[in-house]
Structure 1
Amino acid sequence: MFDRIAFESDKRRHAADQGRDSRLKALAQDFNAASYQYDYGYQWTWLGLPIIQLPTDIVAVQEILWETKPTLVIETGVAWGGSIVLYASILQLLNEGRVVGIDRTIPEQNRREIMKYPFSHRISLIEGSSIDEAVVGNVRAMVNPDDRVMVVLDSSHTHEHVLAELRALAPLVTNGQYLIVSDTSVEYLPPQTPRKRPWGPGSNPLTALRAYLAETARFETDQHIDDKLLLTYTPHGYLRCVA
């Protein structure tokens, strides 16, 4: 009745099929563009804190954490802290691991909210630029030799900044773990948006990621995640470290 092997096989087949469905992918892209004016990604929380992600991306990250069991998750871009709390809550269930969050500004109120959970002892917050040499050096010093390291980049989304982050922090990702470059969907959004930002089509996380992948063979895009997500702010941005 319940054949898990067959079930998983069917899932992968359907994901691959929908990944080849250009009409379905276009509809998903149209949804992202149309819903952006309503701040759709701002409408979700994790354990009470705003997470500023699509629900599909939240679930995908949960799956990655549970599968790969990192002992150290490094994220740039803290904001309200929902993603930081997501990582820490899953690591708490795994009974190991730490989370390091980096942001230029971490308001004291946000810091208090992030540190109020029973698993907040797993969280360290660093205020400063994620490409500042001193900050990067501090983060590197927090990595233990036997850590399984995952990195999530979600701060400033300009090409120059994300490329600098990749060069500084992606080398910390260990074999079998994930590098997640968030908001690669900016490349596909119309330039007319409610909020004027220094990034957009032509200068964004995806253009930076493409440039970085031309410099290294350590990472491969997880095509299965790409195929199954459809609704995502991070197309082509889930990468597994293979070396």
Structure 2
Amino acid sequence: MPYLETTPDAEAGYLVEKKTRIAAFAQDEAFRALSNAWRIEALKKKYMNNYSWLGRPIIQLPTDIVAIQEIIWAVKPDLVIETGIAHGGSLILSASILELLGHGKVIGVDIDIRSHNRHAIENHHLAHRIQIIEGSSVDPDIVAKVHSEAKDAAKIVVLLDSNHTHEHVFAELNAYANLVSVNSYCVVFDTFIEDMPDDYIWNERPWGKGNNPKTAVWEWIKHHPEFAVDHSIEDRLLVTSAPNGFLQRVSQL
């Protein structure tokens, strides 16, 4: 069959083959170990700091960038909520997909937004799709403000990528996950911290093995059966900063 064949049968065959391949990845321990080893080296070398999205630095693995694009395109949310802004590349990524969809906005929350980053974001071509809120993502006043902004949104995606301690991420999940619409996602980044070598040094960061986003997800999801880890995304990516972190809302309760 020609590579560019686009008949319905060809499309169906491609999707079946893709699903089978991803299922095989889930059982391929050698490939998964290799992917994890590569991710460890990538972090040591700050590989994820090499990229930008439409002119703004985006501190993410390329595979995760693609995954977020896929989620936003599939869900078609009215609102994307992001905690952690840094240089603003992730906000621009979300805003660009919303622009292509023709609706929606992204709210970015960060405790410290540097003036040059704020200026670049607010003067970007996609600034009309972005709202910035400065303050702690778990401050009750900030949480209330985000909830107020979200009150009219039918479909919501949440991306958590700020302080990576267990306590903070757990509080963020309690604050924002309930806003996620059914079949949409709350993505918790940097859960891979739990998978790093025991002797890995985090340079005075307050997080590490046993105290990180993955431990927060493990604890939180035990009490929230309305969410489930979508392992198919991790199985597809293999190299991701969010293993066990793609949380799909599967029911209202």
Shift of 1:194: 6.0
Matched, 1:242 2:250: yes
Checking the alignment, whether the CA contact within 8 Å between 1:12 and 1:224 is kept in structure 2 is no
Deviation, structure 1 residue 164: 0.6
Quote the offset at 1:146 in angstroms.
4.3
SS at match of 2:82: strand
Structure 1 CA distance for aligned equivalents of residues 202 and 135 of structure 2: 27
Number of equivalent positions: 243
* Structure 1 position 75 matched with structure 2 position 69: no
| Structure of higher RCO (CA pairs closer than 8 Å, 6+ residues apart) | 1
Superposition TM-score, scaled by structure 2 size: 0.93
- Give, in whole Å, the separation in 1 of the partners of 2:28 and 2:153: 41
For structure 2, which runs of at least 5 residues remain unmatched after alignment?
none
Matches within 5 A, 1:41-190: 41-190=48-197
The answer as to 2:25 corresponding to 1:18 is yes
After TM superposition, give the deviation of residue 34 of structure 1 in Å. 1.8
The residue matched to 2:239 in structure 1 has which SS? coil
Residue 195 of structure 1 pairs with residue 203 of structure 2: yes
- Structure 1 segments, 4+ long, off by >3 Å, are none
User: 14, 37, 40: which one pairs with 2:44?
Assistant: 37
Q: What letter matches 2:117 in structure 1?
A: N
2:250 maps to a residue whose letter is: V
2:13 pairs, out of 6, 10, 21, with 6
Letter in 2 for 1:221: V
Q: Distance in 1 between matches of 2:146 and 2:133?
A: 9
Counterpart residue identity of residue 123, structure 2: K
| Residue 9 of structure 1: how far off its partner (Å) | 1.1
Post-superposition shift, 1:148? Answer: 0.5
Structure 1 residue 192: Cα displacement: 2.1
Q: Normalising by the residue count of structure 1, what TM-score does the alignment of the two structures yield?
A: 0.97
- In 1, Cα distance between the equivalents of 2:153 and 2:132? 22
Aligned residue type for 1:151:
V
CA contact (8 A) 1:37 1:193 kept: no
Q: 1:134 to 1:235 in 2, by over 3 A?
A: same
In structure 1, what is the equivalent of residue 225 of structure 2? 217
Amino acid at match of 2:248: R
CA–CA separation in structure 2 for the residues paired with 1:37 and 1:212: 29
For the 8 Å contact 1:37–1:194, the answer to whether it is kept is no
| Percentage of identical aligned residues | 44
Distance across 1 between alignment mates of 2:224 and 2:186 = 13
